[in-house]
Structure 1
Amino acid sequence: MTAESDYSRSVWRKSGRVLGRPWGRDFDDSEPYSDLHRTLRRRHIQMIAVCGVLGNGLFIGIGKTLASAGPLGLLIGFALTGAIVYSVLVSFGEMVALIPIAGGISAFGSRFVDDALGFALGFCYWFSLAIAVPTQVISASILLTYFQPFNPWNIDPAVLGVSFLFVIILINSFKVRVYGEIEYAFGYIKLVLVFGLIVFMFVVNRSRLPSEAGKTTIFPVNFTYWDSGVDPDYGPFRPAFYVTATHKISGATGRLLMIWTVVTQSVYSFSGTELVALTAGEAKHPRRSLPSATKQIFWRIFILYMLSAFAVGLNMYAGNSSLPSFYTPWKTFSSRDVSWSYSTASVGNCNVGTVTWLGFSGATASPWIIALQEAGLCVGAAVVVCWFVFCAWSAGNSYLYASSRTLYALAVQGKFFRVFRRCTRDGVPYVALIFTFTIGMSAFLALFPNSNAIKIYYWIRRLTSVPGTLVWAGICLSYIRFYHGLRLRTDIVQRDAPSYPYRSPFQPYTAYFGLVGCLLMVVFNDMTIFIQFEWQYLFSSYVSLVFFLLCFLSYKYWRQTKIVPLEHMDLDLGRREMDQYEAETAVERERNEKRVSRKSVWRFIKMLMV
């Protein structure tokens, strides 16, 4: 019997006792297949997260944050967001390493805080990921409008959406080991291309240096756009924080608002790093693979993001009119702004296609593309756009995987309909996968050339803006409770013991820092509404918070849940089963390690012989 099944029965019975009446019949295992398969290795886990993180948040969304904060403000904001994400990741990784179960986001919230919190975290996280799938599909479709022949081809955008969605559902239908290999290949392609693009941006910057500057240092860098002495509008920060075209805030307050804007906007770029821990239910040796994968994926992503922000700030003027504005008054949106209207434009020496769409930006708004176009590299810009399309589609592929597993975990834990527990013979939760995929069909609301349909989809998409940050806050809160509850259980291996799977640094202060940071981002996720009030933006900024609270309160009223006392926290289910699993596979694992060691020695001998 799996840990997830035991936990489902526990929640099912406890909920019945809390309500004061039995559920009629106990939770059963009548489904022929209802368990995931542990076949993912560490390399698969890392690349699943890479594919989810490296999307258009970094390549397109970074333009908006650069335009609002300047190059140095962009770097500082990314660093602060990275610190908060690191706090979340290491806290989540420690809990999952000790209790590696599927759906840890909802399971840990239920076990260590309140069952209602676990449901709200799991359901909102599933919904945000499910909506993120069509968002990436639409983004990929819009990026293709960059190519001028697109309009004469008369390709309906809905056809593109169907094509992208079909390939995504096809890949997710494979057994998880095959899916992991595909994501492994996609992830490496993304990493190589991102690193190559960063290097290429430095080459472009180097080519702009005067001839005498190249003799002064080994690797000189052109900081023209950082120097306000060259132009008063240049500099490490923007001259002022522009709320509107006429309303601006300068000085220290303006710079603080710039940095905070980057923090709140870059959350979307960092979303997906937690996918590492979501694979716990399908990891082959989770206590060995998850801790190292968690640390490695964070530093890989963080270093790439910081280098990307630095490279973009060197080659792009933050006040460039092609970059998207952070604040657009709601009254400026018209039917023309939310329809599929294609036009052509000339940027530098390049003739490109553009499309205007509410809530989305095309390739012409990307600072990477603008920098390449201004350097006259039209072919290079076109190649990079093709890569952006691949990144958007690949991110949607990872989101469908994560959202289907989250829905499966909710069903296993007794928080959702049991039918979603059903899996194929190969361990694929096909009911949860198909149901989540139907949410992805909402992309047709935006792909259909009707302004009302696109506005409806825009409001649906706003529901996904804050839940990701709320989930991060819930993870940190769960860890804080887990940390103090573990100290009361002297019969369980403690954090200072050598056999403890993974001990995250500076706890519980790291988790407190992550919790406070996430809550601040939720409350102040859009600072402009406190300066330039518009009720539409007020509603769109906090509708997802209201949605989360409705999920929490309705479940709490239905199940009559209470906060779990520290001494009654469940630290056994999942941990005991994993202890047994590790003991049973110890011989096989030791044999594999010896086999790898022999192969390494033999390769070394052959190298010496050659």
Structure 2
Amino acid sequence: MSSSPASSPKIVDPERNDAASLEAEDLPIGALPVPPVDEHHGLHRGLSARQVSMIAIAGTIGTGLFLGTGSSLAHGGPASMLICYALVGFIVWVTLLLLGEMATQYPVAGSFNAYATRFFSPSYGFALSWNYWFNDAVSVASDLTAAQLVLQFWTDWNPWVISVLFWVFLVAVNATHVRAYGELEYWLSSLKVITIVVFIIIGILVNVGVNQEHRYIGGENWRIPGAPFVGGFGGFAKVFVTASFAFGGTESLGITAGETKNPSRNMPRVVKFVFWRIILFYLLSILLIGLNVPWDYPGLANKSTTTSPFTIVFKQIGSNVSASFMNTVILTSVLSAGNHALFAGTRVLYGLSTTSPQPQAPRIFAWTTKSGIPVPALLATSSVSILCFGSSFIGSGQLWNWLQNIVGVSNQIAWVSIGLASWRFRKAWVRQGRSLSELKYRAAWTWPWGPPFVVLTTLSLIIIQGWSSVIPHFSAVDFVSFYIEIPVMLVMYIAWLAIKRLPTLNAEVNFPAPSEVPLHPPAPRRLRWHDLVDTAAVDLTRDEHKDDVNDTIEDQERDRRLQGRGWVFWKLFYFVA
């Protein structure tokens, strides 16, 4: 007879990776000897630094900036929009630095979802991962709905047909090799960046008098009735969720960590430079939009339509051709954002199915082609896009606003989760005596206040931004769009916690021999209502990236270029690309 787990500990075979070889309940949470998240036959590291940089930009400079600013301006006014975007931008910047530390040290598939599971709570990580997967899937539907709004500039002909064609295109792109996806995103994002630079120049010219009326605008639109704060505090608070929708996607640089070449060098570079480019583009663009476009511009944001402020500014110079060009760029940006959301959602679902020791999604979603494409996860993520066809019944503008609220709150939950994971990761690193110099990347100025700052400020935004749905009149649909994800997260957390506590019905029962019965039986276990990871026991060495030969060669080639005769050119090239 074998002894009872209560009377003698089981010996774990280091050659085995299955959880059955140990008694999980007897070990601290986080101490399970599990295999690496990334398997050799899974995802491929095919994304370069320039592609990863542009992928992060593609996820943020899209519908949130080109269309969401119209909704922000109409509901909050120019001052509310500028202040809210600046505040959210700073929060996201700190969040990005925290994520960069973990993604550089542990470049795995699933990114911050995997970090929340590993360093904070497996049950919370389960709820977060499914929430973020749904966020990405809904984002695809949101972008397809946004495409319908953009097309209204030219025609009202059967917008759902265009959505179907765009859906087929996005699925086809994501079914190819990851390098093809990265290259497409790079060039689409480059087009957006160039267009925004042109917009900034034109916006300045329009404001100083180069417009159809040959009139100096200045700060006139800040002084019209209702401006600069439209709707009082309720309007101000409501802009937070649209700003969160717009900035959502910066955290996706961690999603790409599992497929990034030389992450030890490239991930810190992406963290340092990407957000500066984004914050520069956002704040300058938003300032010019608030100066040039009045908050009560007809059709700026209503139930049936949403007009891009970028297109309006281009029309102000008196050229319909320029406005059509801007609208075309916006359309490509919408496709780029949808492409990015579909990619990220697919990788999150893949990460769920490969979570150790217990997968959090069916194993079928872990299947990949020889090219490293998780096709089942791709098809499941893209299927949620059927939501975009609801625009035929409730109006594209109204549907897009609701989807925007849902995605914006989901982005905020992701930022809170990054803060929680970073908080516990840093505590574990110090508690286990690891030197800070061992970190491959460290945002020194955010120690120790960074994680609590992100958690508390973002939670505050989640609470106050739904003010307009309650005061002065309660709107049930708007309230649900602002807060539905909170109870859903709570239910999923409790459900997974309960599932893990259920006994295995078919487990083999081994009774101890009389001589093996302990003199003092152990006290009965109490039911725990949480599964917070033990920071003293979590394995900090698993999945740490080890630079390979190709990484070393790439580093040497880069250093050689920067020290050679054309170092100025290469310095500029690496900064831009």
TM over 0.5: yes
User: 1:518 Cα deviation (Å)?
Assistant: 1.3
Instruction: Report the CA distance shift for 1:553/1:159 in structure 2 as closer, same or farther (over 3 A).
Output: same
Rounded Cα–Cα distance in structure 2 between residues aligned with 1:313 and 1:174:
41
Residues 418-567 of structure 1 aligned to structure 2 (within 5 Å): 418-446=363-391, 449-450=392-393, 463-490=406-433, 492=434, 494-495=435-436, 497=437, 500-531=440-471, 532-560=473-501, 562-567=531-536
Q: CA deviation at 1:454?
A: 11
Indicate how the Cα distance of structure 1 residues 463 and 160 shifts in structure 2: closer, same or farther if over 3 A, else same: same
Change beyond 3 A, Cα 1:593–1:55: closer
Provide the rounded CA distance (Å) in 2 between the counterparts of 1:99 and 1:589. 20
Counterpart-to-counterpart distance in 1, 2:110 and 2:124: 13
1:66 corresponds to 2:73: yes
1:318 to 273, 281, 295: 295
Name the residue aligned to 2:350. Answer: 408
In structure 1, list runs of 5 or more residues that go unmatched.
1-8, 21-25, 214-219, 243-253, 326-336, 338-355, 605-610
Match of 2:274? 297
Residue identity in the other structure for 1:593 = R
Kindly state the Cα deviation for residue 260 of structure 1 after the two structures are TM-superposed: 2.9
Q: Give the C-alpha shift of residue 163 in structure 1.
A: 1.2
1:601 deviates by 4.4
Shift of 1:171: 1.3
Is the counterpart of residue 593 in structure 1 residue 536 in structure 2? Answer: no
Once residues 26 and 396 of structure 2 are traced to their aligned partners in structure 1, the CA distance between those partners, rounded to angstroms, is: 42
CA-to-aligned-CA distance 1:65-113 (integer Å, 9 cap, x gap):
2233332332111110101111211111111111111112221111111
Q: Identity of counterpart residues, as a percentage?
A: 27
On the 8 A contact 1:18/1:559 being kept in 2, the answer is no
Say whether 1:384 aligns with 2:326.
yes
Q: Is the 8 A contact 1:50 1:297 kept in 2?
A: yes
CA distance in 2, matches of 1:88, 1:60: 24
| Structure 2 residue aligned with 1:124 | 131
Letter in 2 for 1:592: E
2:98 counterpart residue number: 91
- For residue 428 of structure 2, what is the amino acid of its counterpart? G
Q: Equivalences for 1:97-176 in 2 at 5 Å? A: 97-147=104-154, 150-151=155-156, 155-176=157-178
How far residue 178 of structure 1 moved from its aligned partner, in angstroms, is: 2.2
Change (3 A) 1:599 1:474: same
Deviation track 1:356-391 (CA, whole Å, cap 9, x = no partner) reads 2xxxx33xx322333444553322222211111111
Q: Distance in 2 between matches of 1:111 and 1:588?
A: 32
CA distance in structure 2 between the partners assigned to 1:201 and 1:412 by the alignment: 48
Q: CA deviation at 1:19?
A: 11
State the partner residue of 2:259. Answer: 282
Please report how far the alpha carbon of residue 158 of structure 1 lies from its aligned counterpart in structure 2 after TM superposition: 2.8
1:397 partner amino acid: N
Counterpart Cα distance in 2 of 1:27 and 1:34? 17
1:394 equivalenced with 2:401 (yes/no): no
Q: Deviations over 1:452-508 (max 9, x none)?
A: 999999978765442221111011011111111110122x3x22x276333353223
Q: Match of 2:196, SS? A: helix
1:344-363 equivalences in 2 (<5 Å): 356=304, 361-362=305-306
* Partners of 1:97 and 1:502 within 8 A in 2: no
Instruction: Tell me how many residue pairs correspond in the alignment.
Output: 517
Change in 2 beyond 3 A, CA 1:33/1:441:
farther
**Displacement of 1:315:** 0.7
Letter in 1 for 2:492: C
**1:181 equivalent among 177, 180, 183:** 183
CA distance in 1, matches of 2:494, 2:334: 35
Query: Which of 26, 42, 48 matches 1:41?
Result: 48
1:166-209 CA-to-partner distances (Å, cap 9, x unmatched) read 11112112211222122111111110011111211111112259
- What is the TM-score normalised by the length of structure 2? 0.81
What CA distance in whole angstroms lies between the structure 1 residues aligned with 2:498 and 2:439? Answer: 41
Structure 2, gaps ≥5 residues long:
1-15, 28-32, 502-529, 570-577
Q: CA–CA distance in 1 between the matches of 2:127 and 2:291?
A: 42
Instruction: Tell me the amino acid that sits aligned with residue 413 of structure 2.
Output: L
| CA displacement at 1:234 relative to structure 2 | 6.9
| Change over 3 Å in CA distance of 1:599–1:234 after alignment to 2 | same
Q: TM-score, normalised by structure 1?
A: 0.77
CA contact (8 A) 2:55 2:185 kept: yes
